[in-house]
Structure 1
Amino acid sequence: MAKDHLAAPLIDALRAAAEAPFEQARAMPPSVYTSDDFLALELEHIFRREWFCVGRASALAEPGAYLTCELAGQPVLVVRDGAGIRAMSNVCLHRMSTLLEGRGRVRSIVCPYHAWTYNLDGSLRGAPAMGQNAGFCKGDYRLPELRCEVWLGWVFVTLDPQAAPVAERLAEVEALIAGYDMARYTESFFETHVWDTNWKVLAENFMESYHLPVCHAGTIGGLSRLDEMICPPGREAFNYHTILKDDSLRIAMAHASNDRLQGDERRTTFLLALYPSLLITLTPGYFWYLSLHPRGPGQVSIRFGGGMSDDYAGDADAAENFAALKSLLDDVNVEDRGCTEKVYRGLCSDAARPGHLSHLERPNYDFARYLLARITETA
């Protein structure tokens, strides 16, 4: 890991961007995206200490349902057992192989190397051919557990035992979107991707809709009204902006049975950036999300999922409408990938210089301030 003092010039460059008045703000400097030293700071001060979203609880509805991820270099396993959803180390306690991959459902956790077998609570069930080792005791082995919390249907894990609870950190978000009842949105698709860009470039791309008319000219750009976008100042743990949508996409509107939303709320889309890297497009009818983790300065791992509000569960045409939406989202992703990979290539240029931000990029400015606060925060 890079020592903080070795990265001092990088921190100073970020500070210059983050502490300028918003009316004079510029984009973050290229080194914040391209430097291995800055990435080391992010992994240590952000991804090892913050809550990371691994997906939706609805994907872990049955006992034995599991998913895996890597968080700041640590292999993590999240599984539902009889007591609920728990997170554990995804490393065997014998010869240290990783245990499970991807997502799926199991009755027990079996190491693919020597078949040491763990119960869903992490306790060791069996270990073949260990009877002649006098020091071996099955009861001494249990996979280390990590903190895991479910908030509004989202599953979060953290490596930091001292991190404040998710519900406490995101209480204001919960109040903002109470009428959406986000816990009742069910995931219907989940994919993983790797793009050749920095994780912050993709995060910032989501946080601002300034790029929609140009980057998404072939899909949703023509539907984007920049003059109707509202970008309030960000908060300590998140930022957001909102867009009003018309009823041409019915499943983006509040369902007739939804009496929780009134007036323009029934057609308001929230674009939520929950730090460090959970990005949610939330409409009254459907949602989709990205959860990002760096794979070096120039690559990002993406957890991409989405689904519908349970308000629509009984509608005969809801699945068909959402399938059409998913096809549109795939096309939008192709456009976003092209744009964000171009940005990273440009950031690596000797000629790269950060320009001034539009008022529609207020969330990017707030994101820079969050990064500075976390990286300079004392342990």
Structure 2
Amino acid sequence: MTQVQPIRELLAAASRPLVDARAMPPSVYSSSDFLAVENESIFARDWVCVGRASSLPNVGDYITHELAGQPVVILRDRDNQIRALSNVCLHRMSTIVEGSGNKRVLVCPYHAWTYDLSGQLRGAPFMTETTGFCKESYKLPQIRCEEWLGWIYITLNKDRPSVAQDLAEVEQMISQYQVQNYTECFRETHVWDTNWKVLAENFMESYHLPVCHAATVGGHSKLEEMDCPPGLRNFNYHWITKEASLPIGNAHPDNTRLEGRWRKTTALLTLYPSHLITLTPGYFWYLSLQPHGTGQVSMIFGGGLSPEFMADPKAEEYITSLKTLLDEVNVEDRGCTEKVFRGLSADAAKPGHLSYLERPIYDFMQYIADRTAGFERSFALAAE
């Protein structure tokens, strides 16, 4: 299968009106040629979240990430600023650091070329007799890196507008939560056996909650009360107003920022391409996805509490209960999304009609078609 078939089928699906919308065709998930287009036109060009700034509290703290096939290290430098660098040595092109941790300098494990936290080469053993070698001319390429509401974003695209500009509308919509002041209490990485878009779509719709999550959060989900407005250029979203299954799902008594229905309202945000956030008055959790082939997705998973719950004497109990719940939810979601990928890989797979509760999936499909095939999206209806 070449990239022609999935693009043709995707454009046909994206062109259908909302009232007759269908899911994306199987080829869009299963084609390795189409994934190559996604990496080039989406992940190499858009902003991608790599976690919370609070995960790098100290000078020398670092995390690594692979963005569209490019190894990147994100760190806090000696000026206490977060920056992103190419994680490829300028000598024989080995990757330099792995995973996460803290380093005073970055030392290549192959020949011990050593870089400071700004990326400047500081040491290169047995190179003094090499004609033409100039240590000062070696500096790891900088990768664009910005913070937004406590999250770190990186992009390979030098011309991309800032994160704040891209997400100005969503920032205004959720400003009353003040999520920049929430504290991340856990951060993990996982790899699931499904396509990245299957997992993204699973997060952005609540239609599956009563069934897939019957044992956890499903019983608290009133589908008839869910609001799924039209998405905007760089994100889609929907709202749930409910009595939360956990006390931390509603506003803490000491929370004076949120009033009325906002004290019980949860925002579910999909920031394209792959930053997925559940934001409640008391806690948040998020995923950031990176394709790992057509049938695997690498996932950053994190979450934490609002300032009022962090200041509560029972904060540790709240953190434990949140992590326990989300671990159970992840088990359920993994089962559902891996089944979807196995199913769409079958010869008999055929996309069906979308529910009105899956409006965010329709918007996401048009975003994918825009980025990969030049589909022209319309935004006649503004966000509320």
| TM-score in terms of structure 1 length | 0.96
Tell me the residue number matched to 1:277: 274
How far does residue 12 in structure 1 lie from its aligned partner after superposition? Answer: 1.8
Q: 1:258 aligns with which of 255, 260, 279?
A: 255
How far does residue 248 in structure 1 lie from its aligned partner after superposition? Answer: 4.8
Indicate how the Cα distance of structure 1 residues 265 and 69 shifts in structure 2: closer, same or farther if over 3 A, else same.
Answer: same
On the 8 A contact 1:251/1:318 being kept in 2, the answer is no
Tell me the residue number matched to 1:218: 215
Tell me the residue number matched to 1:146: 143
Query: SS state of the match for residue 65, structure 2?
Result: strand
Tell me the residue number matched to 2:44: 48
1:115-126 to 2 correspondences below 5 Å: 115-126=112-123
Tell me the residue number matched to 2:26: 30
The yes-or-no answer on 1:268 pairing with 2:258 is no
Q: Equivalent pairs: percent with the same residue?
A: 63
How many residues are aligned here? Answer: 374
How far does residue 9 in structure 1 lie from its aligned partner after superposition? Answer: 2.6
Write the distance in 1 (CA, Å) between the matches of 2:216 and 2:251.
Answer: 23
On the 8 A contact 2:229/2:238 being kept in 1, the answer is yes
Tell me the residue number matched to 2:160: 163
On the 8 A contact 1:32/1:38 being kept in 2, the answer is yes
Q: 1:79 aligns with which of 75, 79, 94?
A: 75
Tell me the residue number matched to 2:17: 21
The yes-or-no answer on 1:58 pairing with 2:49 is no
On the 8 A contact 2:13/2:22 being kept in 1, the answer is yes
Tell me the residue number matched to 1:327: 324
How far does residue 337 in structure 1 lie from its aligned partner after superposition? Answer: 0.5
Query: SS state of the match for residue 353, structure 2?
Result: coil
Matched residue type, 1:29: P
Write the distance in 1 (CA, Å) between the matches of 2:237 and 2:244.
Answer: 22
Which moves more between the two structures, 105-114 or 231-240? 105-114
The yes-or-no answer on 1:12 pairing with 2:25 is no
Write the distance in 2 (CA, Å) between the matches of 1:255 and 1:167.
Answer: 28
The yes-or-no answer on 1:181 pairing with 2:178 is yes
Tell me the residue number matched to 2:381: none
Tell me the residue number matched to 2:362: 365
Which moves more between the two structures, 359-368 or 240-249? 240-249
How far does residue 138 in structure 1 lie from its aligned partner after superposition? Answer: 1.1
Write the distance in 1 (CA, Å) between the matches of 2:43 and 2:187.
Answer: 22
Which moves more between the two structures, 341-350 or 78-87? 78-87
Matched residue type, 1:307: G
How far does residue 27 in structure 1 lie from its aligned partner after superposition? Answer: 0.5
C-alpha distance after superposition, 1:53-106 (max 9, x if no partner): 000001112111111100000000111113311111001111111111111111
1:85-104 to 2 correspondences below 5 Å: 85-104=82-101
Tell me the residue number matched to 1:69: 65
How far does residue 310 in structure 1 lie from its aligned partner after superposition? Answer: 2.1
Matched residue type, 1:71: L
Write the distance in 1 (CA, Å) between the matches of 2:4 and 2:244.
Answer: 50
Tell me the residue number matched to 1:295: 292
How far does residue 216 in structure 1 lie from its aligned partner after superposition? Answer: 0.9
How far does residue 355 in structure 1 lie from its aligned partner after superposition? Answer: 0.3
Which moves more between the two structures, 72-81 or 221-230? 221-230
Which moves more between the two structures, 49-58 or 79-88? 79-88
Matched residue type, 2:194: T
Query: SS state of the match for residue 122, structure 1?
Result: coil
How far does residue 177 in structure 1 lie from its aligned partner after superposition? Answer: 0.4
Matched residue type, 1:108: V
| TM-score in terms of structure 2 length | 0.95
Structure 1, unaligned runs of 5 or more: none
Q: 1:337 aligns with which of 331, 334, 337?
A: 334
Matched residue type, 2:161: A
On the 8 A contact 2:63/2:101 being kept in 1, the answer is yes
How far does residue 247 in structure 1 lie from its aligned partner after superposition? Answer: 4.9
Matched residue type, 2:16: A
How far does residue 318 in structure 1 lie from its aligned partner after superposition? Answer: 1.6
Indicate how the Cα distance of structure 1 residues 206 and 248 shifts in structure 2: closer, same or farther if over 3 A, else same.
Answer: closer
On the 8 A contact 2:71/2:95 being kept in 1, the answer is yes
Q: CA RMSD in A?
A: 1.3
Runs of 4+ in structure 1 deviating by more than 6 angstroms, as ranges, are none
